[in-house]
Amino acid sequence: MKKSVLIIDDEEKISRLLQLELSHEGYAVEIAQTGKEGLEIALAHTWDIIILDVMLPELNGVEVLKQIRKVDNHTPVIMVTARNTTTDKVSGLDGGANDYITKPFEIEELLARMRASMRHQLESKATSSQEEDKPPYLQVDSLVLESKTRSVMREGKRIELTPKEFDLLHYLMEHKNQVLQRDQLIQDVWGFDFVGDTNVVDVYIRYVRKKVDHGYKKKLIKTVRGVGYCIREEDH
């Protein structure tokens, strides 16, 4: 059975070209040209992957993504942006996007990112069945993370994290006292199957560190210069 792709993009030339190329690669492709139409189609059917432009009439791409994620946390979504800025990328990823790509792009790059996102989604589904065997919570010093409720506490105070901030902290705590390279974090937390924009990692580490360590004498998240990051119970 062909994998289904929904393209939500108001630039008709681009969307038609993508439809032609993806159809040639064996995908079943449907197009929507406004945010409102795209959201309706996205929620009305099951998709293997969605290609979503940020700048859309009626409803912008970030808002479309937020509405999709309220009812569907599984379908991979690749955001398309015309601006190659870390802020735009973080905004899309924080809204629940699996990946991003900047215009103009080569079809080969899009195909690679689509394959990586869908593969990562399959791996996530496979590992989710193993969650029952994992400890109900992770702890590093006074920092406690509960996987099922996705709650984080430090010294009894609740810490509010965005979904991607939570995923990053969870990964750090699962690998406590290990130095994790930026490329490793990009691949395992965001699911990129290539050397991605490691600036995104630095931005998210800064966000998480501000929420987890700010105001506490003991700093848990460490930077290892030239290598990456780790979370430690004690200074070494």
Q: Label residue 98 by pLDDT band (50, 70, 90).
A: confident
Q: Average pLDDT in the 189-211 region?
A: 79
Band of residue 36 on the pLDDT scale cut at 50, 70, 90: very high
This prediction has a pTM of 0.66
Mean pLDDT of all residues in 182-203: 76
Whether the per-residue pLDDT at 136 is higher than 60: the answer is yes
Give dist(CA 75, CA 118) in Å, integer. 8
Query: What was the pLDDT predicted at 169?
Result: 95
For residue 58, is it left (φ>0), alpha (ψ between -120 and 50) or beta? left
pLDDT, position 235: 56
Helix (H) / strand (E) containing 228? strand 228-231
Query: What is the DSSP annotation of 99-157?
Result: EEEESS--HHHHHHHHHHHHHHHHHHHHHHTTGGGS-SEEEETTEEEETTTTEEEETTE
Mean confidence (pLDDT) of the chain: 86
* Residue 120 banded pLDDT, cuts 50, 70, 90: confident
Neighbours of 219 (CB within 10 A): 13
Of 234, 173, 225, whose CA–CA distance to 202 is shortest?
A: 225
Question: Is residue 226 classed as helix, strand or coil in its secondary structure?
Answer: coil
How open is the CA angle 223-124-73, to the nearest 5 degrees?
95
- Confidence class for position 236, pLDDT limits 50, 70, 90: very low
What CA–CA distance (Å, rounded) separates 209 from 146? 18
For residue 224, the 8-state DSSP code is: E
pLDDT of residue 177: 92
